[in-house]
Structure 1
Amino acid sequence: MQDPNLTDVVESNFSKCPSIDEFRNQVYSTSYTLIFVLGFVGNIFALAVLIKTWRQSSPFHVYMMNLAMSDLLCVLTLPLRVLYYVRKGHWEQGDFLCRISSYFLYVNLYCSIYFMTAMSVTRFVAIVFPVQNLHLGTVNRARIVCLGIWIFSSTTSAPFLMSGQHYNNVTKKTECFEPPSPSSDRLLKLQTLNYVGLTLGFILPFLIILVCYAGIIRALLSRTLASHQQQNSASKAIKMIVIVFMTFLISFMPYHVQRTIHLDFLSRKDSSCEEQTFMHKSVVVTLCLAASNSCFDPLLYFFSGEGFRSRLSSIRQTMRFSSQRLTAKMKPTTVSEAQESQQLDVS
């Protein structure tokens, strides 16, 4: 998800233009609440299954765990945003939480993109180069890649810790998650950061994913999948392609395109009220779509994760077995108690 300083909506820079604050507050508060509930429940459940079966670890399993943790970091900041917009754009949680909540959202966006890219490359190598994958596709290598992704995303997002809450003399409110004004010195810096993020955080990973998926599809079409295991692997690869593409097309692409247009739009001085209203409302919509990526990822675990459903089945069987053992242990006690009761009745 994006840094709110880039694209959250503020009052119109032109006093004559109508404000969309009511639209913004309603859409953000409703959408973030829904995303928080779905994202929190889905990722907690997925993380619980993955941790419970950590002994069956694989590179794909490592990437899924890190992706789930990244999503949880994101959704845990959403209640602060809901509170902010329910209070109609008034921030009372302090400067530290303002900076951290913005920072975590931005880190999560690019961690999610890079983890999906790593998963796509892993699947590509496993299908196209199965022999080399025996040496390349190790759990330790996957852990090193994940550590590198966390460090890279956290470091490159550090500039967004520099801006926190500020007091608006016009609205008489303490604000957070607001973009710079056209006259702000921060606008040029944010435009530069945007192009770096657009290139390294979206275009490059998306091109890598396209190349991987083209190679996967070509390999699957050129082979006769005789065994059940090969057919199962091909099915998982296709499902992963569909889900990742859906996530990019629905969440990541609209956000990055709109963010770039919006920052350029802020530097214009000849925009009409209609253009401002349309641009600000599109910011609201694309930011909500970007935040929704945390809800898509559990689908990725369930439909394309290596053994995720089998892990879930094994947990169910374990719980059922434990329940049966507990019932069996309780039965002798129950019979004994019944016999004692009968003896008391006879006496």
Structure 2
Amino acid sequence: MDQNVVYESFDKMEAFMKDVFIKVGIPAADAAVCAEVLIESDKRGIDSHGVGRFKPIYIDRIKEGIQFPVTNFEVVKDGLATAVVDGHDGMGQVVGKKAMQMAIDKAKKFGMGMVVARNSTHYGIAGYYATMATKAGMIGLTGTNARPSIAPTFGVENMLGTNPLTVGIPSDEDFPFVLDCATSVSQRGKIEHYDRIGKKMPQGWVIDNQGNSETDPAKALDGLTKGTYALAPLGGLGDDTAGYKGYGYATVVEILSAALQQGAFLKALNGLDLSGKKVPYHLGHFFIAIDINAFTELDAFKKTVGDILRELRASRKMPGHDRIYTAGEKEYLAWLDRKDRGVPLNESLKKTVKQLKEEYKLDSYTFNF
């Protein structure tokens, strides 16, 4: 751990982000939602999508006029168990929370609910929305497309977003099963985190237009933006390590995030118009909620899920390893480790927080740096 890292309480950082969001024009109730989603990422130890993305992905984009602080959440089409909504380039967290709640409400009536969204923006960690469903005693699925990052198998051009396919399933344990990961080997948020802490990336995460690996995160981020670099799909490059599987799943998410709601896709999500001017990203999401009680008794289901997870963790270990994890477990352990300490802030994040505090005259906040 960086010796210069300090910890600030989750409540303080959440309140600070909410107040900055309000300063840039987000209504108070929506600002609370946006801050809640971001701080949840830090609580789970997902440092790539929390406070670290607060300024560059949200505040800066609002100031640039490519994301709108007031979210016009429009229901375009409302069926019994389905709906299509339009976020009109407002806050993705607001769109995401409202859309998943719609899916949950529909599932309560009809057993399943699905809502798709178009013209949205980055909605934070997908696991937040899947966990909304698990808290309601349901299975939750969500995915989103994103600006072009992943090269298709045997290609070098960034075409697909990192496109997470995320599933949350309730269990009888202290935490639900939540599989929340990109369909690329890594994703931009993690590369941004490596750049902030000055750490080289592993070989095979990012390739140039000749298929050569790049390990410098700053160069990778610049090349991804310019379209000269690309992320490898989950599984890696080529067929030998089954990279075509990650490429295939990324394509599934792209289709579900664009075709059902007739939204933008692939290169249309690069945030630039034909003249090279920055424009909104027009992202698409999908949200599915499945009411377990429509199939079986909830407690029995949760016990079966727990039994499966416990048997997996109890299975024989590889030499040199004394523990097997199941999805959602590491995030729960991160919460136990951080709940009394708070959000870790390195030098880069401390500088950002200071800058925002001064810029928006939030003098009532005092930090440990």
Superposition TM-score, scaled by structure 1 size: 0.28
- The structure that has the greater radius of gyration is 1
Higher percent of residues as strand: 2
Superposition TM-score, scaled by structure 2 size: 0.27
